[in-house]
Structure 1
Amino acid sequence: MYRSPSYHRSIFLGFFLVILPESTLAETLNKPKSTKPTKKEEVLVLTRKASGGGLMHVRTTPYSASGIDADVIARKPAAASPLQIIANLPGVNFGSSDAYGLTIRDKTTVRGLDHTEMGWSVEGMPGTNLAYYNPYVEDWADNENFSSITLIPGSSRLQDPLVTGVGGEVYATIRTPAAKREAHLNYSAGSFAAQRVFMRADSGYLGNSGIKFFTSYSYAAANNYTGSGRNWKHHFDFKMTKDWSPIANSSLFVSSSLRDVARTNLYTLKSFETANKVDNNFSEGTFASDYINGKTTNYWKSYIYTSKDVLVSLNNDVKLSGLDLKVVPYFRWEQTNAPGQTNIDPRSTYTGTEKIAVNTDDLNIINGKIPARSNTDQTMHSEGINLYTTLKAGKNNKVTVGYWLDHWTISTLNSLSPLDSSGDTIGRVLKDTSGRTIAGGDYSLSTLINQFYVSDDLSLFHDRFLISLGFKDMMYNVSGNNRLPGPQGNFSSSYSRPMPRIGLTFNVSKTVQLYFNASTNSRPAVPITTYPNIYNVATGGISQSGQKSVKPEYAVSEELGFRYHGIFNFDATLFNMNLKNHQVSTSLYLNGALTSGAISVGGETIKGATVEIASHSYYGLSAYANAQYLHATMDNNFPVSGDFLPTKGKIMVASPKFMANIGLQYKRKGFFTDITFKWVDAQYSTFMNDQGMPAYKTVDLGMGYQANDIHFLKSPYIRLNFMNITNLKYLSGIASPSYSSQVSKGIGGTSVKAGSPTYFLGTPLAIMMTVGSNF
C-alpha cells in the first residue's frame, strides 16, 4: 500500500519522542528522588482502598468502573484466562468451553454488546486484533504479571487508543519490576492432564542507573475435556523501567506468545440435548477423533488453530510544573492460521472466478474428491503512537490535548492443504497445473487511523463538583487489493466521526458521591468480513461479497450513578444507550474454515441498572455481590431473503434480563478461602426470539495457605481451585446467533427458512493445584 510522506514523518516523529520518559504506575510516580525505594514508598504501595476481598475499589470517576488487582488474581487458577478472572464483575456475561483459556472458544458481552464492540488496551497500547476485533487477552501477559484489570461498561477513557469502544472498555496494567532482586517459581497441575509452569526473575535496581526489569516465561498445556486434542502455549513477558529524574520515567513492555489450539466444536441446542442424554462426556457432538479415508469430513486435526504474537509498548512520562506529557509508541505482529476441513472436486475447482485444472500428482483422491484442510493464513502488523499532554490552566482547571496514529496491515491467503489417507496434510498446498496456488481468498488490506482528542476538567466548590468536557474526532481509512481473478481489484473506504462527551461528579459528603456521564463512541465495520471478496473454490461464486461502504456503529450512552464509601462500599448505576448500525459477531464457515463474521441488525436501545456492594474485612471475612437488570430491544426489522422479519421491539440476542454474582472470602493468618456464585438468566439466540440459551448457575471455590519464610523459600504457598464445583452440564455462551430457528414469514409474505444458532459448551468440573514461592 502507498504511504504518504506525511504518514512516515508522523511515525518517525513519534519514535523520536520516546526519549521523553514515562511511568504508568502510581508507585513509580510517587518515587522519591533517590533511585532506591524508601520505607515510605512501601507503605504507599501496600495501602489500598478496597473491599469485598479486593473486588471493589473506591472510584471517583464520572462513569461506572469495576476492576481487580493482583491480590484477586493471585487467588484464581494460575492457568485461567483473564476473561475468566473478570467474569464475576458487574454485567459481564462470559461463556467459555475451556477452564484454562487455551482453546479460545469464548465470548464476552457487557450490557448486551459483545467483546468485538468493546475497547481493549494493555500498557497504553491497543489490545485488540484488528482483523476481527477479538481481544485475545490470553496473549497479553501471564496472570502473575498483571497489576490490575479494569472494566468500564458502556463508556471508555478519552485518552486510550481505542477503535472499538462503543460497548465499553477493558484496560490492563503490568506490574512494575521489583526494587530488589528476587525470583518467583510456581507449578500447577489439574484436570484434563493440565500442566503449567511459571518462572520470573526481577533484577532490582542496577546500581544507581535507575534501571530495573523483570523477565518471565510460562508453559501451559491441557487436553480438551471432550473429544481429541491437546492445547499448549508458550509465553514470554519482559518489562524494564528507567528513572531519568524525579519527574521523568520510561517503561518498555514486551510480550510474546506461541500457541497450538485443538479447537472444540460448536453445539446446536438439539445436538447439546442429544449429547447430554448420553453419558460419554459430550463426545457425540465433537470433531471426529479418528480418520476414515473418504468418509470423515470433520477430523479434529484439520481444525487446529496456530498463532504467534508479539506486543511492544514504550511508555514515557514527563511531569513538569503544571504540565504532564505522555508518549506511547507501540508495535504488534501476529501470524495465525484458523483452518477447517473440506473436499475438493478436481473437475470443478476455481481460483477466484476462474475455473482451473488441478495438479493431482501424488494426491489422495477418493470417490472423485480430494480431502483437504482449508487454511486461513494471516500475517498482520501494526505500528502507532499515542501522545497527549495535560496542562493546568488555573488553580481549578486542566486541559488535555492528544493525538493517536495507528497503521495496520494484513495479508490473507485461504489456501488448501491436501490430506493423505491418514488425515494428515502432505506438506504442500494445492496448485493448478501452471503452478498457481488455488485459493478462495488472497488479498492485502490496511487501515489508517488518525484520532484527535481534547478535554477540559473544571473543579469547583473546593473540589466537590467536577465538570469534564471531552471531544474526539476519528478519521478512519481502509484500503486493499484482491489478488484473485474476479470483479474486485483495489478497494477503499473512509469516514470521519466526531464524538463529544460530558461527565459530572458531585461529592455530597466525604462518603457519598453522585455522578453522570453522557458519551458517544463509534466502531468501524470489521474489515476482514466487510471489504474483501471471498470466493467458493467449488463454484467460483462469491461466498462473501465485499462492500465499498458500510456505516460504522455509533452509540450515544448515558449513566446516572450513586456511590457510597463508608462502613461498606456501594455503587448503583442507571444506564441508557442508543446504538445505530449494530453488528452482531458470529462464527461462520468459508470453504470449510471456521472464521468470525458479523450480522448487521440495525438500531438497538439498551436500558438497565447495575448495583455493586462489598463489605470490608471483619475478622478476615469479607463479602461481595453485584446484580444487573438489562432490557435491550431491536429498533428495526431484520432484512433477510429480500424481505424483512418482524423483529422490531424484540429482545436482542445474548442479552440476559438478569445476572448476579455473590462472593465470600476468608483470609487470615496465611489461610484463605474464596467462593463465588454466578447466575445468568436465559438469553435469546435468535432475532425472532424463538430459541434461547437456558439460564445457568455455577459455583467456583478456591482455598490455600501462604507460609512464612522457610530458609531460601520466601512466602511459599499452595493453592487449590475448583471451577464449576457442582459439575453442571450447560451451554455457556452464544457462538452464532440466527435470525430464526423456525420457518418464518416476512412482512412482505416471503417464507424464510429456519436457521440453527450454535453455542459454546460450558466447562465441566475442573480442579487445579498450584505450589510456588519467591526466592
Structure 2
Amino acid sequence: MDGIKSKNNHSYNGGNIKNSPIFREIFYNKKVALGGCRLSSSCFSRGGVSMPVEFCAGTHKRGKLISAFGALLMAGTALTSPLHAQEAVSTTKQPTDVGNVEATGGAGGTDNGQTALGVTRTEVGGGLMVDEDVPKAKSSVTKDFIQKQAPAADVFQVLKLVPGANTAAADAYGFNPGIMAVRGLDATQMGFNFEGMPLSDMANWSVYPGQWIDTENMDVVTLNQGSADLASPQINATGGVVDLYLHDPAKTPGGLIDLSYGTNNAIREFARLETGQIGDTGLRAFASFSHFTADHFRGPGEDQKDHVDLAVVKDFNDGSKTKLAFTYSEIVRDTYKNPTLTQWKVGGLNGAATNYDATYSKGDTSYYKLLANPWRNLLLSAPTDIKINTALALKVTPYLYYGYGASGSATTLNERSVGFGDTVNAVDLNHNGTTTDTGVMVYNPIFEDNLRTGAVSKLTYNYENHTLVGGYWFQYSDDKLYRPYSTVNSNGTATDPKGVSNYIRLANGQVVMGWNQDTTDYVNAVFAGDTISLMDDRLSIDLGVKQVYVSRFAHNGVPSSVEDTHADRQATLPTAAARYSFDDQNQVFGTLATSFRTLPAGSLYPRYSSSTGAVTTAANPNQPNETSFMQEIGYRYHAKLLSLSVSAFNYDFRNRQISSTVCDPGCLSSPINGGSQNARGLDFEAGLRPYHNFRPYISGEYLNTTIESDIAVAGVYLPTKGKDAVRSPRWQSGIGVDYDDGTYFGNLGVKHVASQYSTFMNDQSIPAYTTVDATIGFRLPDLSYAKKPEIRLNLLNLFDRHYLSGVASPTVNALSTKGVAGTAPTYYVANGLTAFVTITTAF
C-alpha cells in the first residue's frame, strides 16, 4: 500500500419521530415523485421533487438515475479484467503518488488479529500511529485503537487524539454531526474519501460522519493534515484529506456479534457475516447490519439509525484485485439546539434556554416535534487495481452517492403578506377560507435530494528509477434544495404526516416555497506526476500537477429575476515533495502544495424575505475560489520501541470561506468570506510499541493564525485585520495510554483544547477545556460457538464536565462595531458522562 506501513504487519419507542411529517415523507410515502417536470399548476420545480395534487411521472429523475448507473457500470468494466491487489498494511516501501494514500482495508475478521474485532496488540501507540513513509505529514489510526472505542464512534471521534484535530461532537453516539477542524481549517475545507470516492456535500461541503461506516467495519482511518494527493477527487480540500476504508472480507468464514447498552437508554445491535473464500472463485464477502436507538442527553428527543455495510472482494492469480464497497443508512434524529453563549450561561446543560421545547404553545417554532431531521444515504464504490504487466498498472474507482432527507423547521407569517420569491401575496395559510389571519404557523422543512456519480482512473508506469502516474477524474452531481410550505395543527404537529397534501398554494395552484434550487455540477480533472527514486531510494522526489475544471449550473424555481445562472471555475494545482532517509530510523520530508475550493452552490441563488419578498442575500456567481499555498517540513524517527513525527507548516489563504451553520430553526451550512489569512504552526506525535503490555501515545499542536484582511459587513469594513482566525485554538494536546495483556485491556484518552474565538472580531470566545475518556474490558475463553468473546465498558467524559466543545456558527462580530450590529455565534455542547457496555463475540 502506498504511503502507509507497519513494522508489525499487522424495541424502539419513537412514536414522536415516526409521526413527524418529514419521516413520513421520506420513509412511508411511496408516492413521492422523485422525478420532476416543467413548471405548471400541477407540478412545481424543474427536475425537483414535485408538489402536486396529482403527482407527475418522474421520468426526469429516473433518466438521471439510469445515466448514473450507466456511468458507474461503464467505468467499472475493469471489474471483469485481471486486477492488482493492495494490502492495507505493508512492510515494503513503495513510491508515493505525491503522498497518495491507497488502502482497501486490513485483514478481515480474525484472520491476522488476536481478538474478535481484529485487535493485534502490537500497533504503535495503541493503534494511534503508524510508521509513515510519505513526504508529508500524515497520521493513521488502526483497528487497535478504533475497536476499543465506543461502538458507533464516528470518524471525527476516532481522530480526536491525532495532531491538530479539533473535534466537537454534538452527542456521544455519533447520531448528530459535530465539527472537525485541522490546523484551524474546518471540515468543509477538507476532503473526505470513502474507498476513493468523495463524501463532502456538493452544495456547501458539509460532511456527516455518522452516516458512513459502522465502527466495527473501520479498518484504518488516515488524516493527511496538509494537502490532497494528485488522484484525490476533491474540489474543496484547501486543508487536509481524510481517507477511510471499509473492512476487507475475511478469508475464513465466520462472523461477529455486538450487543451494547448505555446511558440515555442507548441500545445497539450489530451483526456481521463473513463468507470466507468461496471455493476457487477468488471471491470473499461480508455483510453487516446494525440498529441503534438512544434518547437525547439534553432536552427532548431521541435518535434512531439503521445501517448496512457490504463488501465483496475478488482476488486474481496475477495479484490483481477488485473490491465492491457498499453502505446504506437510514437515520431519524431529533435536533439538538446549538445555544449562544448567553443561553448557555443561563440554561446550562438542561435548561430551557439551551434546549428546544418539550411541549407546544401557540406560535412556538422551537417545539422539538417540528424539527426532526431524517436522512437516508447510499455509498457505492468499486476500487479496482489492474496489473497489466510488471511495469504498468491501472486503478479505476467508479462510485455513486445518493442522499435524501430534510431538516425540520417552522415559522409564523401574516396571511396578508407572504413572500414567494420576489413576489408578495395574500395567502390562506391555515386553509380556513380567509387571507387576513396573523401569526399563522407554517411548516417549512429544508429538503435535499442529491445524486452524484463519477470515476477516478489512474495509470502507473515504473521506468528505471521513475514511477510515472497520470489520470482523469469525472463527476456529475445533481443537488436539489427546496423548502415547501404546509399547514400545522393546533397541537404543533404538521397537518399531514405523510407530506403529500395540505401544501400552501397560491390561487393559481402553485406551492409556496421559501427556496427551490436545482444545481447541476460537472467536474473534470486531469493529473500527472513523477516519483523519482535516488540514492538507493534514500531520496525520493515527487513532482505533480493537476488541472481541474468545474461547471455549476443553477435553476431557481421560485419567482425571481434570477432564474438560471452558471459559474465556470478552473484551477492549476502544482505540487512538489521530497523525502530523505538518513538510515532506517531517521527521515526528513518537505512539501509545497497548492489547493483550491470552488464557490458553494448557494452563491448562485438570491434569497428572499418570507414576509416581504425583498432580497435578503443577493446571488454572487462571481465569487472567487478559495485558494491556499502550503509549505511543510518534517522529521520522523522510527526505532524498535519508539516512533515520533514532528512537522512545521505554513498556509497562505485567499478568499477563505468559513463554514457557519445557521438554524432558523431549520439548519443549513453557509460560508462567510474570511478574506486573506495566514496559519503557521507545529505538529508533533510520538508512540511506543508494546512495553510490558503498555503502549502510550502523545500528540500536540501549536497554531498561530492571522486574518490579513478587513471583512465587509453590510458595506462597512470591520477592523478584523490582525485578529486570530475562528476555530483556531493556540494549543492542543492529546494523550493516549493503552494496556492490553491479551485478557485484560483498557485505554485512557485525554484531550486538551485551548480557548478559541468564535468571531472574526475576536470579541467572543469559548474557554479551554480538558476531557477524559476511558475503556476497560476483558476477554473470555471460547464458549462453544462463541469465539474470542469480550466485554468492554466505554466511559466518555469520565469526569462529567459540562462545557462548550466547539463553534457551530461563527459570526463576524458579536458586539456592535462601527455601527454594525453584532450577531451571536452558536456552539456545540459536549455530552455529559456516558457509559456504554458492549458484549462482543466472533463465531
* Distance in 2 of aligned mates of 1:313 and 1:454: 23
Task: Verify the 8 A CA contact 1:666 1:672 in the aligned structure 2.
Answer: yes
Asked if 1:88 corresponds to 2:161, the answer is yes
Asked if 1:151 corresponds to 2:212, the answer is no
Task: Verify the 8 A CA contact 1:370 1:418 in the aligned structure 2.
Answer: no
Describe the SS at the equivalent of 1:385. strand
Equivalent residue runs for 1:197-208 within 5 Å: 197-208=269-280
2:697 maps to: 624
- Give CA deviations for 1:157-205 in whole Å, capped at 9, x if unaligned: 2212122211100001111111111011111110111111101101111
1:758 maps to: 826
Equivalent residue runs for 1:576-725 within 5 Å: 576-589=650-663, 592-725=665-798
* Distance in 1 of aligned mates of 2:68 and 2:374: 33
Asked if 1:142 corresponds to 2:214, the answer is yes
* Distance in 2 of aligned mates of 1:360 and 1:309: 33
Task: Verify the 8 A CA contact 1:364 1:421 in the aligned structure 2.
Answer: no
Asked if 1:111 corresponds to 2:183, the answer is yes
Unpaired stretches in structure 1, ≥5 consecutive residues: 31-36, 746-750
1:455–1:178 distance in 2 versus 1, CA, 3 Å: same
Structure 1 residue corresponding to 2:423, chosen from 329, 344, 354: 354
Partner amino acid, structure 1, of 2:415: P
Asked if 1:244 corresponds to 2:244, the answer is no
Asked if 1:100 corresponds to 2:173, the answer is yes
Task: Verify the 8 A CA contact 2:578 2:589 in the aligned structure 1.
Answer: yes
Describe the SS at the equivalent of 2:645. strand
1:287, distance to aligned residue in structure 2 (A)? 0.7
Partner amino acid, structure 1, of 2:242: V
Partner amino acid, structure 2, of 1:452: V
Partner amino acid, structure 2, of 1:420: N
Task: Verify the 8 A CA contact 1:253 1:314 in the aligned structure 2.
Answer: yes
* Distance in 2 of aligned mates of 1:712 and 1:7: 44
Structure 1 residue corresponding to 2:453, chosen from 379, 383, 386: 383
* Distance in 2 of aligned mates of 1:298 and 1:8: 41
Structure 2 residue corresponding to 1:299, chosen from 345, 364, 367: 367
TM-score, normalised on structure 2? Answer: 0.86
Unpaired stretches in structure 2, ≥5 consecutive residues: 1-46, 48-59, 92-106, 497-501
2:41 maps to: none
* Distance in 2 of aligned mates of 1:481 and 1:127: 24
Describe the SS at the equivalent of 2:126. coil
Partner amino acid, structure 2, of 1:59: E
- Give CA deviations for 1:595-649 in whole Å, capped at 9, x if unaligned: 1111001111010001111112111012100110000110101111212111111
Structure 2 residue corresponding to 1:515, chosen from 569, 572, 589: 589
- Give CA deviations for 1:378-410 in whole Å, capped at 9, x if unaligned: 11100101000100122x111000110000001
- Give CA deviations for 1:748-767 in whole Å, capped at 9, x if unaligned: xxx22122111111111111
1:86, distance to aligned residue in structure 2 (A)? 0.9
Task: Verify the 8 A CA contact 1:603 1:635 in the aligned structure 2.
Answer: yes
1:538 maps to: 611
Partner amino acid, structure 2, of 1:404: W
2:438 maps to: 368
* Distance in 1 of aligned mates of 2:244 and 2:70: 30
* Distance in 2 of aligned mates of 1:7 and 1:336: 20
* Distance in 2 of aligned mates of 1:222 and 1:286: 17
1:46–1:654 distance in 2 versus 1, CA, 3 Å: closer
* Distance in 1 of aligned mates of 2:540 and 2:214: 37
Task: Verify the 8 A CA contact 1:183 1:200 in the aligned structure 2.
Answer: yes
Equivalent residue runs for 1:17-416 within 5 Å: 17-20=78-81, 22=83, 25-26=86-87, 50-104=123-177, 106-276=178-348, 281-294=350-363, 296-319=364-387, 320-360=389-429, 362=431, 368-394=438-464, 396-416=465-485
1:537, distance to aligned residue in structure 2 (A)? 2.2
Describe the SS at the equivalent of 1:227. coil
1:312, distance to aligned residue in structure 2 (A)? 0.7
1:80, distance to aligned residue in structure 2 (A)? 1.8
Structure 1 residue corresponding to 2:75, chosen from 14, 34, 40: 14
Task: Verify the 8 A CA contact 1:22 1:315 in the aligned structure 2.
Answer: no
1:675–1:405 distance in 2 versus 1, CA, 3 Å: same
Describe the SS at the equivalent of 2:353. helix
Task: Verify the 8 A CA contact 2:356 2:366 in the aligned structure 1.
Answer: yes
Asked if 1:442 corresponds to 2:516, the answer is yes
Describe the SS at the equivalent of 1:170. strand
Partner amino acid, structure 2, of 1:77: A
2:577 maps to: 503
* Distance in 2 of aligned mates of 1:28 and 1:462: 23
Describe the SS at the equivalent of 1:62. coil
Partner amino acid, structure 1, of 2:258: N
1:154, distance to aligned residue in structure 2 (A)? 1.9
* Distance in 2 of aligned mates of 1:736 and 1:414: 21
Task: Verify the 8 A CA contact 1:226 1:283 in the aligned structure 2.
Answer: no
* Distance in 2 of aligned mates of 1:581 and 1:9: 38
- Give CA deviations for 1:473-521 in whole Å, capped at 9, x if unaligned: 1101100211211111110000110000111000011100000011111
- Give CA deviations for 1:673-705 in whole Å, capped at 9, x if unaligned: 100111000011111111111100000010111
1:34 maps to: none
* Distance in 2 of aligned mates of 1:488 and 1:122: 36
1:515–1:689 distance in 2 versus 1, CA, 3 Å: same
Task: Verify the 8 A CA contact 2:258 2:839 in the aligned structure 1.
Answer: yes
Task: Verify the 8 A CA contact 2:163 2:701 in the aligned structure 1.
Answer: yes
Task: Verify the 8 A CA contact 1:50 1:58 in the aligned structure 2.
Answer: no
1:550, distance to aligned residue in structure 2 (A)? 1.3
Range that drifts further, 603-612 or 240-249: 240-249
TM-score, normalised on structure 1? Answer: 0.93
Partner amino acid, structure 1, of 2:80: I
Select the structure that is richer in strand. 1
* Distance in 2 of aligned mates of 1:329 and 1:13: 9
1:372–1:638 distance in 2 versus 1, CA, 3 Å: same
1:8–1:724 distance in 2 versus 1, CA, 3 Å: closer
* Distance in 2 of aligned mates of 1:611 and 1:110: 13
1:417, distance to aligned residue in structure 2 (A)? 2.5
* Distance in 2 of aligned mates of 1:57 and 1:459: 22
1:33 maps to: none
1:420–1:307 distance in 2 versus 1, CA, 3 Å: same
1:547 maps to: 620
Task: Verify the 8 A CA contact 1:267 1:285 in the aligned structure 2.
Answer: yes
Asked if 1:420 corresponds to 2:481, the answer is no
1:293, distance to aligned residue in structure 2 (A)? 2.5
Partner amino acid, structure 1, of 2:522: L
Describe the SS at the equivalent of 2:513. coil
Range that drifts further, 18-27 or 538-547: 18-27
1:574 maps to: 648
Describe the SS at the equivalent of 2:75. helix
Structure 2 residue corresponding to 1:727, chosen from 795, 800, 817: 800
* Distance in 2 of aligned mates of 1:619 and 1:29: 26
1:381–1:722 distance in 2 versus 1, CA, 3 Å: same
1:507–1:360 distance in 2 versus 1, CA, 3 Å: closer
1:339, distance to aligned residue in structure 2 (A)? 2.2
